[in-house]
Copies of this chain bind each other. A is one copy, B any other.
Amino acid sequence: MAAPVLRPPSTPAGADLPATLRSVLRPDQVLTDPDVTRGYARDMVPTAPSGLPLAVVFPESTADVVAVVRRCAAAGVPIVPRGAGSGLTGAANAVDGAVSLVMTRMNRILEIDEGNRLAVVQPGVVNRALRTAVEARGLFYAPDPSSYDWCTVGGNLSTNAGGLCCVKYGVTTDAVLGLEVVLASGEVLRTGRRTVKGVAGYDLTRLLVGSEGTLAVITEATVQLRPLPAAPCTLVAAFDSAEAAGAAVSGAIRAGLVPSLLEIMDATSIRAVERHTGVELLGPGADTPAALLLGQSDAGGAVGLSEMERLEQVCQDSGATFSYVTADLAEGRMLLQARRDVLTALETVGTWLTDDVCVPRTRIAELIADCERIAAREGVTIAVVGHAGDGNMHPTVVYDAADAEQAAAAERAFGAMLDAGRALGGTVTGEHGVGRIKQPYLAAEIGPVGLAVHRAVKRALDPDGLFNPGSMFSLVD
C-alpha cells in the first residue's frame, strides 16, 4: 500500500528559509538534500502518510530551537519535531514543505541528583543511555518502551510512551517532574518542578507529555528516578486457551498482586518466535500452547520468589497446563527475550502493522477472541502480544505489503481491532499515541465535545498551527 502524502495546511513561502537557518545556526545543522532528508521522513509504521520536508534541522541548544521556531513562524513554515523515529503512529512523519526538527543532537544528561532521585536531561538522550547512566548510581529510570535501545527520552515524552514496566511503575508521564519547552511564540516555558510533590498552577507538564509535538518543542526534562529494583524472579505459565490466560490475569489483579511485568503471547506469536530463534520455549517436543504468560517480580529475594509463587498458584487455579518459576537471571532473561523478539520474528514472515489497544484487565480474553474473529474474516494473520498486567495489547497484523488486497485487509483489521477494544470499554491507544493513523479513532473515542476542547487547547498554545500540522486531530471538521 502506497502511503498517502501529506500537504501542509498552507503551502509556505519559505523558499529562502533554509539559507536563513544556515546563517542563524551552522550550515551542517540544516540539511536540504532530498536524498538525505527523505531518511527523516517517516517513523516505524508502514501505513502513515509522510511528505518531504523543506529542511531537516538539528538544533544543539534551546537557543537553537528558539531561533528555528521564530524563523519558521515568521516564514509561515510548520515544524515537525522528531526524535529517533521509533514511533509507531507517524506522529513524527515529515510534512511537505515543513521543517523536520530532529532533536537527537541535544543528547546530554545534564544532572543526576541521587539525594533527590532525579535527573535532568535533554530530549535527544537515548532511553537506554539514561537507564545505564542512572543504574551506575544505583538508580532506576522506569519507562522502558520496547525500542529503548534507540528511542529518545524526548520522543518518549512526546508520545507518553509505556513499556513492560507500566503494570508496576506507570507510563512516561508518571516519571516526569518538569519540562522546558519552546512555545510557538518562541518563548521558553518551564513547567513543573524539582520536588516530588507540587500543585502550583495547572499541570502543564502532563498536558505537554503525550501531546505528540502539537503544542511545543520539548528541550529539557526533569525526570524522577527510583531505587534500583532487585534482581527479578520470573514465572512462565502456559494455557490451552486465551480465556484461561485472561482468567489468570484477572485472578492476579483480584489477588492483589503487583508484578513488575506481566506479559502475554498467543500461539501465533509463540510459533513465530520459536521458528525465528529455533528454540522451543517450553522445551523440545512440547506442544505450542494457546497462550503464555510471563511474569516478573523485582521485589527481591524471598519476597520476589513468593510473589511469583502466588502468581503461579493463580495461574494453576486458572487452568495453566504448565508453569515454572525461576530466580535464575539467565533463564529469566531468555524468557523475556522471547517476548521482546516477537516483532523481529514476525518481520521474517511479512510486513507487520502493530496495533495498540488497551482494555480493562478483565476483558483481555474477549479482545483476543475478537482478534481471532477479525483475522479469520479478513484472511490475515494476527499475532497477539501485550502487557497483560495493564490490559494493553499489541495485536499485530502480518501481511504481504506488495499485495494491495492484503494491505487493505490489514488496514481493515487494524481498525476493527480498535473498534473491538473500544466496545470492550477500552481505549484506541494504550501507549503508542494517535499520530497520523488513528485520528478518526481518537475522534470517536473522545467525542465531539472532547475534540472541541482539544482544538481549543491547541489554538490557545499554537494559534497559527505551527507545530505538527495535521497530526493527532484536525483543527476543523
| Shortest 8 CB-CB contacts between residues of A and residues of B | A227-B256, A460-B460, A198-B427, A456-B460, A115-B362, A206-B206, A197-B430, A195-B358
- Identical chains in the assembly: 2
Is A450 within 8 A of B191, CB to CB? yes
CA A259 – CA B347 in complex, angstroms?
Answer: 45
For the complex, is A390 an interface residue (Cβ under 8 Å from B)? yes
B-contacting 9-mer, from A28-36, A100-108, A159-167 = A159-167
Knowing A228-B256, A360-B116, A449-B183 touch, does A433 contact B199 (C-beta < 8 A)?
yes
- Which of B197, B392, B441, B456 sits near A171, CB closer than 8 Å? B197
Is B391 within 8 A of A200, CB to CB? no
- Which of B195, B207, B362, B433 sits near A206, CB closer than 8 Å? B207
Is B449 within 8 A of A116, CB to CB? no
For the complex, is A398 an interface residue (Cβ under 8 Å from B)? no
Knowing A201-B473, A206-B206 touch, does A115 contact B391 (C-beta < 8 A)?
no
Question: Which B residues lie within 8 Å of A361 (CB)?
Answer: 115-116, 195-196
CA A115 – CA B174 in complex, angstroms?
Answer: 23
Is A115 within 8 A of B250, CB to CB? yes
Is A187 within 8 A of B449, CB to CB? yes
Knowing A203-B206, A360-B116 touch, does A190 contact B450 (C-beta < 8 A)?
yes
CB distance from A305 to the nearest CB of B (A): 12
CA A1 – CA B197 in complex, angstroms?
Answer: 31
Q: Name the CB-closest residue of B to A447.
A: B190
Q: Name the CB-closest residue of B to A362.
A: B115
CA A425 – CA B190 in complex, angstroms?
Answer: 14
Is B434 within 8 A of A360, CB to CB? no
- Which of B195, B253, B425, B429 sits near A360, CB closer than 8 Å? B195
Question: Which B residues lie within 8 Å of A433 (CB)?
Answer: 199
For the complex, is A98 an interface residue (Cβ under 8 Å from B)? no
Q: Name the CB-closest residue of B to A162.
A: B197
Can you identify 16 A-B contacts, CB atoms within 8 angstroms?
Answer: A113-B362, A174-B174, A189-B450, A189-B453, A190-B449, A195-B360, A195-B426, A196-B390, A197-B427, A199-B210, A199-B433, A201-B442, A201-B473, A202-B207, A453-B461, A456-B461
Contact code string A197-224 (vs B, CB < 8 Å = 1, else 0): 1111111101101110001000000000
Question: Which B residues lie within 8 Å of A256 (CB)?
Answer: 138, 227-228
Is A199 within 8 A of B430, CB to CB? yes
- Which of B210, B360, B438 sits near A202, CB closer than 8 Å? B210
For the complex, is A82 an interface residue (Cβ under 8 Å from B)? no
Is B453 within 8 A of A391, CB to CB? no
CA A56 – CA B117 in complex, angstroms?
Answer: 46
Knowing A202-B211, A203-B210 touch, does A227 contact B258 (C-beta < 8 A)?
yes
Q: Which residue numbers of A lie inside 8 Å of B, CB to CB? A: 113-117, 138, 159-160, 162, 166-167, 171, 173-174, 183, 187-191, 193-204, 206-207, 209-211, 215, 226-228, 250, 253-254, 256-258, 299, 303, 358-362, 387, 390-392, 425-434, 438, 441-442, 445-447, 449-450, 452-454, 456-457, 459-461, 472-473
CB distance from A62 to the nearest CB of B (A): 13
Question: Which B residues lie within 8 Å of A434 (CB)?
Answer: 199-201
- Which of B115, B200, B253 sits near A427, CB closer than 8 Å? B200
Is B199 within 8 A of A171, CB to CB? yes
CA A234 – CA B258 in complex, angstroms?
Answer: 23
Is B194 within 8 A of A454, CB to CB? no
Knowing A207-B207, A450-B191 touch, does A117 contact B430 (C-beta < 8 A)?
no
- Which of B207, B227, B427, B456 sits near A193, CB closer than 8 Å? B427
Is B200 within 8 A of A446, CB to CB? yes
CA A159 – CA B117 in complex, angstroms?
Answer: 25
Knowing A187-B449, A460-B459, A461-B453 touch, does A199 contact B432 (C-beta < 8 A)?
yes
Question: Which B residues lie within 8 Å of A445 (CB)?
Answer: 200-201
CA A389 – CA B256 in complex, angstroms?
Answer: 25
Knowing A203-B210, A204-B453, A446-B200 touch, does A359 contact B460 (C-beta < 8 A)?
no
